[in-house]
Each structure stands twice: as C-alpha cells, then as structure tokens.
Amino acid sequence: MNDEPVSAEGSTDDERILSASRTKWLAMLLGSAAFVAIGLLILPRQPFAAWVLIVFFGVGVFIAFVALLPGTTYLRLTPEGYEMRAAFRTLKQSWQHIERFQTYRLPLSWNRNVGIIYDPSYKSRARTRRLNRSLAGVDGALSDNYGLAANELANLMNEWLNRYKRQ
C-alpha cells in the first residue's frame, strides 16, 4: 500500500478525507464534450444519431463538471463510519453495519471498484442489496476510487473498519 498520505487538508488521525480523482473527471469531461461536438457536427446530416450523442454525452459533461466542483465528491472516514458525497448527495454509513470491503469488477468492464458487504444483521435496503449481490457479487459500492487503486482503497477501508467497528 502507498505510504503517502492521500487525505485532504484538515485530515487527522481520527479523520481522513479522500477527494475524487480530478484527472479521471477531467478526462470524462473532455471526452464527453468531444462527443457532444461530434453530435453538433453531424446534426444536419443525421439528426437522430446527433441528438443521441448530444443528450447522452451532454449528461456526461454535466456529471463530470459537477464532480470537478470543490466539495462535491469526496469520501470522509471517521471513527463513527464513512461519509460519501457525490453530485450533491451525501450517504453516511456506520462501521457497525459493514462486514467488509472488497474489490469487484462488473462483467464486460476492465475497471475494478470497491464493493461493500454488509453485516448480516443489517436489514436496510434488503431488496437492493440482493439485486446488487446477484449482479456484482457485492451488496453496495463506493462511488469512486478517490485516486487510489481499488485494492488500496479496499485495504484502507478495511483498516478503518477493523479499527473502529467494535468501539
């Protein structure tokens, strides 16, 4: 695991803040904008295909732009649990509800992500968790890898889980 700190300013031993990868979201913004431009160029000749490109990748431009705004995408680890913020939505989860974190890869995808396996005693969102488990092998997932390799982030999350779950 990388020994360099990956936390934002203000992080302490009892709190760590990881920001989304600005490089990844900038690449997403530029790539989506390029496809919107292609859609605009072919609009007179192929209106249906052009509008599909413009709308689909226009949404990608918006999502990437929002992710690049300061404070909109982060993962905060605390002794109580973690707080994940993405696109103006914040999810807080207690360590007590989690069994472990593990990496997974969706079918037809090269990217590895960090999945969540909830403690069997945790009953919230049971249907969604069953569906997720059947599709990806995990109950839930972190929304980003926050500039780390998936295995590094899973290891970090499991370290915090093991440190604070039984307190």
Provide block-wise average pLDDT over 10 residues at a time, the chain (167 residues). Answer: 42 83 91 97 94 96 90 92 90 94 88 92 87 90 91 96 86
How large is the greatest C-alpha to C-alpha distance in the chain, in angstroms? 64
Distance CA 60, CA 40 (A): 15
pLDDT value for 106: 83
So what's the pLDDT on residue 55? Answer: 97
**Which pLDDT does position 7 carry in this prediction?**
43
Predicted local distance difference test score (pLDDT) of residue 110? 85
Q: Which of 107, 92, 104 is nearest to 153 (CA)?
A: 104
- Residue 129 CA: distances (Å) to CA of 79, 122, 135, 137, 151: 24, 11, 10, 10, 22
Whole-number pLDDT of residue 162:
94
Backbone angles phi, psi at 151, to 5 degrees: -65, -35
Q: Which residues contact 3 (CB under 8 A, 6 or more apart)?
A: none
pLDDT at res. 94 = 94
pTM of the model: 0.77
Question: What was the pLDDT predicted at 8?
Answer: 47
Would you state the pLDDT for residue 70?
86
Tokens of 123: 């009953």
